[in-house]
Chains A and B, each alone.
Chain A
Amino acid sequence: MSVLSRIAAAASVLGALSGPALAEADPERGEALYRPCAACHMIGEGAIHRIGPHLNGIMDRGIGMVEGYRFSEIFEEAAAAGEVWTEMALDGFIANPGGYLPGTAMVFRGIRGADDRADLIAFLIQEGGSSEAPAAAGEDTGPSPEVAAILEFEGDVAYGQFLSSECTACHIGQGGDDIPSIRGLTPTVFIAGMVAYRSGERQHQVMNTLAARLGDEEIAALAAYFLSENH
């Protein structure tokens, strides 16, 4: 199936967002819903690429067209096909990223409530502007110092395997609709995720509690083990 028809199919299945829904949407509520996105994306004045691209000027921009970010293959295909982030496309993608653009590097299980998505999209527009008038981006300086420090470690794979046994009580190997699978994550994404849970920047009761007792060495060990598993 071409990217185009895949997107069209996904959009029709989802019975996507209609104009009025967005008109009534509440960007204040959207700000709260943006919290999990913030673990990977920046938005607003001075935003730069992190794990994911910054989201300034996303509305009506070409998919995967923002400068200076290396997108996955499926995003490149969509870019080549001239696909655009309409309300409907954003709605479909945020609802189920991996279902909408299979193979995307955005490992995130999605936001299920249609109203939640409308509020979130309203926030993206308010904060980052549209493609016509995007908020000014900043200059990229690579991973945050905290993430970079952990990337420096040579992770202890055997220790990582032991530590990972705590994770497999909830994170299934493949799939995982209700709790995201964490096997396919690149070390940078994985480490940034764990650091965000540890600092509380990304909020989730379970993950905050578990990450709070992981030192840098332990996060590096886990990253090394999960990486070794993928090969």
Chain B
Amino acid sequence: MSINRRTFLSTAAAVSATLATPMIARAQSMPRVVVVGGGAGGATAAKYIARDSNGAIDVTLIEPTRSYYTCFFSNLYIGGFYEFDDLGHTYGNLASSYGINVVHDWATGVDRDAKTVSLAGGGSVPYDRLVLSPGIDFVEDSVPGWSLAAQGKMPHAYKGGTQAQLLKAQVAAMPEGGTFAMVAPPNPYRCPPGPYERISMVAHMLKNTNPTAKILLVDPKESFSKQGLFEDGWQRHYPGMITRIGPDFGGDIVEVDPDAMTVSIDGVVENVDVCNVIPAQQAGLIAQAADITDGNWAPVSAYDMSSKIDPEIHVLGDSAAQGAMPKSGFSANSQAKVCANAVIAALTDARAFPPRYANTCWSLIETDDGVKVGATYEASDEGIVSTSSFISEVGETPETRAETYRESLGWYDAIVEDMFG
């Protein structure tokens, strides 16, 4: 793994150099919480800390984008089941309803001794507790031949925003009978069923517009999330369209050439028309900059999501190494609530309650054919552990599958309200 911190900091700075230096003058008497990253973990944590402390804690949320585009449901957008605009959500209500100080800037560093976060636009923000929920960054060179510079030719579409639009446009422009390739990531990565839901949605799109097209899924993993459910669904809905090349056939020895639009699998070169490269992942770079990572991720206590390296920093969501929970928006949201309760209890005289976590991930395979997997979790000294779980079954009735899909629509509305409402 090679992270070049200097490059990261200088690009981040360049992006927001034009922004005015934010004024950071806040009441000194109140305890201060700074949250970095306004996604599934960060927005939820900021809202719950501000709301449930009844104004007794001063909350600052640092997030560079003005609209958060959810990764969840971006596959449904690709499949034509959801509008792109409906994926975007803004921070106005967090500021107006809960008094959160929303700063649109990049956090560039954390001074753990002085307890301050520095901003790309200049200045720094002091904290009593820091919450980091910066999502993921890609591990450089994990797919030889690919780098961020190639994301225009070979999109990842694995962070929120325009990448999903680019990928969809490329699929729409594929020649008749062309080939769509995906290079799937190694474990652990955000949203374990995500790549396979995407394969389903691309297949749905091609089935209607380009039925002789082929899908090549190159996968370094022996097995994957909801595999039985996906493979059953692909068989039923898209027979003959999808070929998966696992590690037994070289799916773990991959190279790409974005200029030539080729994928080489264990030395065999394939020409492809679209190539979706989802690289290996690591904690958002600000977690590396804060020096609270061990390897690719930030280890945390299962009891309150506090960093094992600096207990005054909490790490949520994808960046955290917490144990058994999958890296999902649902998980990040669940962890944020445990963290918020712990932070409020630490900084005020409010009560702390025993931590509890849950997750459910829905995936759409084809119109009205939804599946889900979920579990409840609790804290232990060894990390977060699963207490009970469930998964959809092969052979469920169409009514059940349609009901499951509708549940996912209800969940999307609810979690967005939970984060931003």
Contact = CB atoms under 8 A, between A and B. Distances in A.
Whether A associates with B in a native complex is: yes
B410 A176 contact: yes
B411 A169 contact: yes
Contacts of B337: 162, 165-166
A187 B417 CA distance: 24
B410 A178 contact: yes
B337 to A, nearest CB: 4
A205 to B, nearest CB: 4
A104 B417 CA distance: 26
A170 interface: yes
B388 A159 contact: no
B376 A213 contact: yes
A116 interface: yes
A158 B345 CA distance: 12
Given A162-B341, A210-B376, A170 B388 contact: no
A202 to B, nearest CB: 14
Given A169-B415, A170-B410, A212 B353 contact: no
Contact of B418 (A168, A206, A208): A168
B266 interface: no
Contact of A179 (B52, B358, B388, B414): B414
A16 to B, nearest CB: 19
Contacts of A86: none
Interface residues of A, number: 27
Interface in B407-421: 407, 409-411, 413-415, 417-418, 421
Nearest to B405: A178
Nearest to B358: A166
B387 A177 contact: no
B418 A169 contact: yes
A179 to B, nearest CB: 3
B414 A171 contact: yes
A113 B48 CA distance: 39
B418 A116 contact: no
Contacts of A130: none
A18 to B, nearest CB: 21
A77 to B, nearest CB: 30
Contacts of A170: 360, 407, 410-411, 414-415
A159 B399 CA distance: 37
Given A165-B48, A166-B358, A206 B390 contact: yes
Contacts of B307: none
B417 A172 contact: yes
Interface in A142-171: 158-159, 161-163, 165-166, 168-171
B307 to A, nearest CB: 22
Contact of B407 (A113, A178, A208): A178
A33 B385 CA distance: 35
A179 B411 contact: yes
Interface in A110-147: 112-113, 116
A72 interface: no
Contact of B388 (A161, A168, A169, A209): A209
A170 B329 CA distance: 12
Contact of A176 (B48, B356, B374, B414): B414
Contact of B390 (A166, A171, A209): A209
A163 to B, nearest CB: 8
A178 B409 CA distance: 7
A173 interface: yes
A198 to B, nearest CB: 12
A159 B353 contact: yes
A151 to B, nearest CB: 23
A172 B376 contact: no
A36 to B, nearest CB: 11
Interface string B387-415: 11110100000010010001101110111
A206 B392 CA distance: 10
Nearest to A161: B52
Interface in A41-57: none
Contacts of A171: 414
Contacts of B372: 205-206
Contact of A173 (B392, B411, B417): B417
Nearest to A180: B410
Contacts of A163: 353, 356
8 shortest interchain CB distances as A-B pairs: A178-B410, A179-B410, A165-B337, A205-B390, A178-B406, A172-B414, A162-B353, A178-B409
Interface of B: 48, 52, 330, 333-334, 337, 341, 351, 353, 356, 358, 360, 372, 374-376, 387-390, 392, 399, 402, 406-407, 409-411, 413-415, 417-418, 421
26 contacts: A112-B402, A159-B351, A161-B52, A163-B353, A163-B356, A165-B48, A166-B356, A169-B330, A169-B334, A169-B358, A169-B411, A169-B415, A169-B418, A170-B410, A170-B414, A172-B410, A172-B414, A173-B421, A176-B410, A176-B414, A177-B410, A179-B411, A206-B390, A209-B376, A210-B358, A213-B356
Given A178-B406, A206-B372, 13 more contacts: A112-B402, A161-B52, A166-B356, A169-B333, A170-B407, A170-B410, A172-B413, A172-B414, A178-B413, A206-B374, A210-B358, A212-B376, A213-B376
